[in-house]
């Protein structure tokens, strides 16, 4: 009996210790669209316990869109969001102490109907182009710069543009109402699965402009204060993200598990989304800041103040690559 009482007492102490350790684990609140592609990676982190294994408890907050996440982050309601580094550079230049951890290098393409006679961007003259986003959408600006350099044409002047949300551009393109369409990578994957073909990818256009297609556009954004005061949390987030990517890069079973999150209407779309995500996984290691600086200069020239404010060169401290 004495042994049993001692065993029970020992178990109780272990339970209390475990509960205390869990209670002390810091919570990282991530404000993202749970219907978006980043939610796939966050699901893998939570399901596989990669947050706890790296010293934090991930809490995902659903927001309606990217700007809503930015508001929650800037207002202190969230610790982490996903955004592009150009936004981070603009905010940092204006005095906001925020930093960028690479997440994805996936970008879109100019898509045309499978039976279209269009073979180059010059063939789109007089046509109608659908663009996911607004006039300063980054893919649109890169393709405009490429058309100017390669063919000496101004796509903005030579075509009619229709701007809209990604699902709308996706739908109108599949209905044959557009001569060309620029969309985010996951919609591009679905468009290709539905029979459309890429006229030119943003990667290829960027490379022709002397930019580095390996530069990750999207990343996790955290406050500089967290990086200074709790560097282990920032490193933990980066490690959990990389571990999730390693799983998604190699495990077909994990993709089957999260398929319900992916809004794939058929096997072709599912396969295209998996391949697109895997292709967008950035290599480990630091970002080439010289290449990023060239991209920022191009965006500032074409997007102007509406996109980049007064920023014309890369501010120091934008990119963080823990462990590199």
Q: Which residue has 């490429």 as its token pair?
A: 146
Residue 88, pLDDT score: 96
Task: Looking at the structure, tell me whether residues 165 and 94 fall in a common domain.
Answer: no
Residue 67, pLDDT score: 87
Task: Looking at the structure, tell me whether residues 101 and 115 fall in a common domain.
Answer: no
pLDDT at 39 over 50: yes
- Strand order in 180-183's β-sheet? 160-164, 128-132, 180-183, 109-112, 197-201
Which percentage of the chain shows pLDDT scores above 90?
86
Residue 64, pLDDT score: 87
Task: Looking at the structure, tell me whether residues 101 and 241 fall in a common domain.
Answer: yes
Task: Looking at the structure, tell me whether residues 168 and 36 fall in a common domain.
Answer: no
Task: Looking at the structure, tell me whether residues 223 and 85 fall in a common domain.
Answer: yes
For residue 200, give the CATH number of its domain.
Answer: 3.40.190.10
Residue 41, pLDDT score: 98
Q: Which residue has 């987030």 as its token pair?
A: 237
Looking at residues 79-98, what average pLDDT do you find? Answer: 95
Show the tokens assigned to 12: 């109780």
Mean pLDDT of all residues belonging to the chain: 91
pLDDT at 108 over 80: yes
Q: Which residue range(s) make up the domain with 172?
A: 109-208
Which tens digits make up the pLDDT trace of 44-82? 999 999 999 999 999 999 998 888 999 999 999 999 999
Which percentage of the chain shows pLDDT scores above 70?
92
DSSP letter assigned to residue 77: S
Task: Looking at the structure, tell me whether residues 19 and 158 fall in a common domain.
Answer: no
Residue 189, pLDDT score: 95
Please measure the distance between the N-terminal and C-terminal CA atoms of the chain and give it in whole angstroms. Answer: 55
pLDDT at 18 over 50: no
**Helix and strand counts by DSSP (H, E) for the chain:** 15, 10
Confidence of residue 322 (pLDDT cuts 50, 70, 90): low
Looking at residues 143-155, what average pLDDT do you find? Answer: 95
**Strands 98-104, 218-223: parallel, antiparallel or unpaired by DSSP?**
antiparallel
pLDDT at 19 over 70: no
Tell me the C-alpha to C-alpha distance, in Å, between residue 245 and each of 143, 220, 287: 29, 14, 17
Which tens digits make up the pLDDT trace of 189-205? 999 999 999 999 999 99
pLDDT at 175 over 80: yes
Looking at residues 12-37, what average pLDDT do you find? Answer: 70
324 within domain boundaries: no
Residue 21, pLDDT score: 43
Residue 35, pLDDT score: 87
Task: Looking at the structure, tell me whether residues 101 and 220 fall in a common domain.
Answer: yes
233 within domain boundaries: yes
Looking at residues 241-251, what average pLDDT do you find? Answer: 97
Confidence of residue 250 (pLDDT cuts 50, 70, 90): very high
Task: Looking at the structure, tell me whether residues 55 and 115 fall in a common domain.
Answer: no
């Amino acid at each position: 009996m004495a042994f049993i009482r001692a065993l029970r007492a020992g178990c109780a102490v272990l339970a209390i210790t475990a509960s205390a350790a869990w209670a002390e684990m810091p919570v990282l609140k991530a404000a993202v669209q749970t219907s978006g592609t980043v939610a796939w990676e966050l699901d893998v982190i939570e399901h596989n316990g990669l947050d706890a294994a790296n010293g934090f408890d991930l809490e995902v907050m659903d927001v309606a869109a990217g700007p809503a996440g930015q508001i929650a982050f800037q207002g202190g309601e969230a610790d982490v969001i996903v955004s592009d580094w150009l936004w981070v550079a603009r905010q940092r230049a204006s005095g906001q102490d925020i930093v960028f951890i690479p997440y994805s290098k996936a970008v879109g393409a100019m898509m045309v109907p499978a039976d279209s006679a269009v073979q180059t961007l010059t063939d789109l003259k007089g046509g109608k182009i659908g663009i996911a986003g607004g006039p300063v959408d980054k893919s649109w600006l890169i393709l405009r710069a490429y058309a100017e350099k390669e063919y000496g044409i101004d796509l903005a002047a030579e075509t009619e543009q229709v701007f809209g949300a990604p699902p709308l551009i996706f739908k109108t393109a599949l209905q044959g109402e557009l001569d060309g369409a620029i969309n985010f990578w996951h919609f591009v994957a679905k468009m290709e699965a539905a029979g459309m073909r890429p006229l030119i990818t943003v990667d290829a256009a960027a490379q022709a402009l002397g930019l580095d297609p390996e530069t990750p556009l999207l990343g996790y954004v955290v406050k500089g204060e967290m990086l200074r005061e709790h560097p282990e949390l920032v490193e933990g987030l980066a490690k959990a993200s990389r571990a999730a990517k390693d799983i998604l890069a190699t495990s077909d079973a994990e993709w089957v598990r999260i398929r319900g999150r992916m809004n794939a209407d058929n096997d072709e779309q599912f396969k295209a989304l998996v391949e697109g995500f895997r292709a967008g996984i950035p290599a480990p290691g630091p970002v080439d800041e010289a290449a990023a600086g060239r991209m920022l200069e191009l965006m500032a020239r074409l997007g102007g103040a509406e996109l980049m404010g007064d920023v014309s060169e890369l501010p120091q401290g934008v990119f963080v690559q823990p462990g590199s």
